């Protein structure tokens, strides 16, 4: 009799919910009963409200149980867990759970299915197909594929990846670099971490394709120190991929050379900005560089460098494996492909939803998220991280694509979505945005460094009620200065949450209708 496969995630979110303890309890109880199991530590499916999610392989597919505690293990085994038996924690076939079944997973299609550090598992689930195709292509053809796919940077700026790669490919230099910015620091975001921990070979494959395209031979993945499991997994994955010939002096036996390294970041938010990250990678204090020159031309150590975030690189293998047109056919307008939206905050069903651009926030909040965890009405939703705008209900039916959101003064950013119910104090959240900027600013430019501190003071005066109308005018002037005068997005985007809170929720600032109109 063969052992039954049982899957318990090793993702950080699952570990925080007790996955290791559940795995240990399963092994101990099965051993005591003489039951043979093959325990696989997979990545997370991204259904975080069900973590730890235990899955059992059956003839019909994997059956899901969750959230499981160590104390549930005995009753689960009594109910026939290893045969997919009925239990109060049973959710049926995993792939048929609506939260998953309604998604369009391209980049995250393996997430939660494979053992993250199993090369055989990765290959068995279409891994390396993009790299194998890329080896036989020239730089011009690779650039055409990436450009035609419509892939834009998933880190927030949404700059076309193909144009950035073309710039680096067209330069002559003794050394070029490919750098992955994995300094994921936005509140409510975790798609980078899930990739680093749950499907690391996908990122390696994407970066290797980028290196082939632009002629780079060295690469770095810059991972924040708050992600120790991601650092450990990526380090091990690179060693395995190098040993197997997917990295190194002869990538897949070809003439291409690509060596990849992990660098642990110190955890500074501003190092999510590409030039500050380069300073940090070079061993300096992480402060923003003035542009030009662009990093594509003078990047790491002053040499041509492709910089993209985790999801951008991770999207490349499927584009090469299935063709640019396949990827381009997803989405709307100029926003092609999919984006992994990350539901967080006060939401009933938090987790990762990969969908093509064009769905609405309302569909995400209620169709996937199930409303708030508190059961109260949703008041505001911050889209795009701590520097993203607060989106009121009147805009929840706007399609989620880069241009449509820009038209309403908002951003999609990294796809982070933080939900607030009707108890939220929007003036307090606006103050938090300014305070966050004041703390995290690298200090290089005055509008960001001083403007954020003055912003906190002005919002405090508005809340105090003294000369409120004039203070609101002053706050708007200050925000305009920050937008126009800051060196990077840290200072120029902080006004987004502040002004959106002020515009859509003036009552939280103590403004009457007349005050609001005057200010």
Each residue's pLDDT tens digit, 382-419: 999 999 999 999 999 999 999 999 999 999 999 999 99
CATH number of 4-102: 3.40.30.10
Sheet of strand 177-182, all strands in order from the earlier edge strand to the far edge: 259-265, 218-224, 177-182, 305-309
Average pLDDT over all residues of the chain: 96
Q: Let me know: does 314 contact 203? Beta carbons within 8 Å.
A: yes
pLDDT at 157: 84
Is 60 exceeded by the pLDDT of residue 144? Answer: yes
Q: What is the mean pLDDT of residues 372-381?
A: 98
Band of residue 518 on the pLDDT scale cut at 50, 70, 90: low
Band of residue 186 on the pLDDT scale cut at 50, 70, 90: confident
Q: What is the pLDDT of residues 224-248, one digit of tens each?
A: 999 999 999 999 999 999 999 999 9
Closest C-alpha among 447, 420, 419 to residue 434? 447
Query: Partners of 60 in the beta sheet?
Result: none
Q: What is the 3-state secondary structure (H, E, C) of 108-134?
A: CCCCCCCCCCCHHHHHHCCCCHHHHHH
Cα–Cα distance measured from residue 76 to residue 85, given in angstroms and rounded to the nearest whole number: 8
366 DSSP 8-state letter: I
Beta-strand relationship, 177-182 and 218-224: parallel
Q: What is the mean pLDDT of residues 282-293?
A: 93
Alpha helices (H) in 150-264, listed in sequence order: 161-169, 191-198, 200-214, 228-243
Question: Which of the two residues, 515 and 79, has the higher pLDDT score?
Answer: 79
Q: What is the mean pLDDT of residues 166-171?
A: 98
Cα–Cα distance measured from residue 303 to residue 175, given in angstroms and rounded to the nearest whole number: 7
Band of residue 268 on the pLDDT scale cut at 50, 70, 90: confident
For residue 97 the two structure tokens come to 């759970």
The full set of domain ranges for the chain reads: 4-102, 119-329, 331-421, 426-518
Beta-strand relationship, 390-391 and 378-383: antiparallel
Q: Does domain 331-421 have CATH number 3.10.20.600?
A: yes
Sheet of strand 37-40, all strands in order from the earlier edge strand to the far edge: 37-40, 4-7, 54-58, 61-65, 90-93
CATH number of 119-329: 3.40.50.11540
CATH number of 426-518: 1.20.1440.230
* pLDDT more than 70, % of the chain: 98
Closest C-alpha among 297, 258, 253 to residue 274? 297
């Amino acid at each position: 009799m063969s052992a039954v496969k049982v899957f318990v995630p090793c993702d950080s979110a699952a570990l925080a919910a007790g996955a290791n303890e559940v795995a240990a309890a399963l092994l101990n109880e099965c051993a005591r009963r003489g039951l043979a199991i093959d325990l696989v530590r997979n990545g997370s499916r991204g259904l975080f409200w069900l973590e730890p999610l235990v899955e059992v392989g059956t003839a019909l597919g994997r059956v899901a149980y969750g959230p499981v505690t160590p104390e549930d293990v005995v009753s689960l085994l009594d109910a026939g867990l290893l045969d997919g038996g009925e239990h109060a924690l049973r959710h049926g076939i995993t792939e048929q759970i609506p939260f998953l079944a309604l998604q369009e997973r391209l980049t995250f299609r393996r997430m939660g299915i494979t053992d993250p550090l199993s090369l055989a598992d990765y290959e068995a689930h279409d891994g390396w197909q993009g790299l194998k195709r890329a080896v036989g292509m020239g730089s011009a053809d690779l650039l055409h594929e990436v450009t035609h796919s419509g892939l834009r940077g998933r880190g927030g700026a949404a700059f076309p990846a193909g144009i950035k790669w073309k710039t680096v490919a067209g330069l002559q230099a003794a050394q070029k670099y490919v750098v992955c910015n994995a300094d994921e620091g936005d509140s409510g975001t975790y798609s980078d971490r899930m990739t680093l921990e749950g499907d690391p070979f996908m990122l390696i494959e994407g970066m290797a394709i980028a290196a082939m395209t632009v002629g780079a031979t060295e690469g770095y993945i810059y991972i924040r120190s708050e992600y120790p499991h991601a650092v450990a997994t990526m380090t091990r994955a690179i060693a395995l991929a190098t040993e197997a010939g997917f990295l190194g002096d002869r990538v897949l036996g070809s003439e291409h050379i690509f060596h990849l390294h992990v660098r642990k970041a110190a955890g500074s938010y501003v190092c999510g900005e590409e030039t500050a990250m380069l300073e940090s990678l070079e061993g300096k204090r992480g402060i923003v560089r003035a542009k030009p020159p662009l990093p594509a031309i003078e990047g790491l150590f002053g040499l041509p460098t492709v910089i993209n975030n985790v999801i951008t690189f991770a999207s490349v293998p499927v584009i090469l494996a299935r063709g640019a047109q396949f990827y381009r056919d997803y989405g709307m307008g100029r926003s092609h492909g999919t984006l992994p939206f990350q539901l967080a905050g006060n939401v009933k069903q938090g987790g990762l939803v990969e969908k093509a651009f064009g769905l609405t926030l309302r569909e995400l909040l209620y169709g996937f998220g199930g409303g708030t965890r508190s059961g109260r009405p949703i008041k505001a939703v911050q889209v795009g991280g701590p520097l993203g705008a607060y989106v009121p209900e009147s805009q929840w039916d706007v399609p989620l694509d880069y241009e449509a959101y820009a038209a309403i003064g908002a951003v999609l950013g990294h796809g982070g979505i933080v939900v607030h119910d009707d108890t939220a104090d929007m003036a307090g959240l606006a103050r938090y945005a300014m305070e966050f900027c004041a703390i995290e600013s690298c200090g290089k430019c005055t509008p960001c460094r001083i403007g954020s501190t003055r912003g906190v003071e002005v919002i405090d005066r508005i809340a105090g009620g003294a000369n409120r109308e004039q203070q609101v005018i002053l706050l708007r002037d200050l925000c305009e200065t920050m937008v126009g005068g800051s060196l990077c997005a840290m200072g120029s985007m902080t006004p987004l949450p502040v002004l959106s809170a002020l515009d859509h929720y003036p009552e939280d600032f103590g403004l009457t209708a007349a005050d609001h109109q005057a200010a």
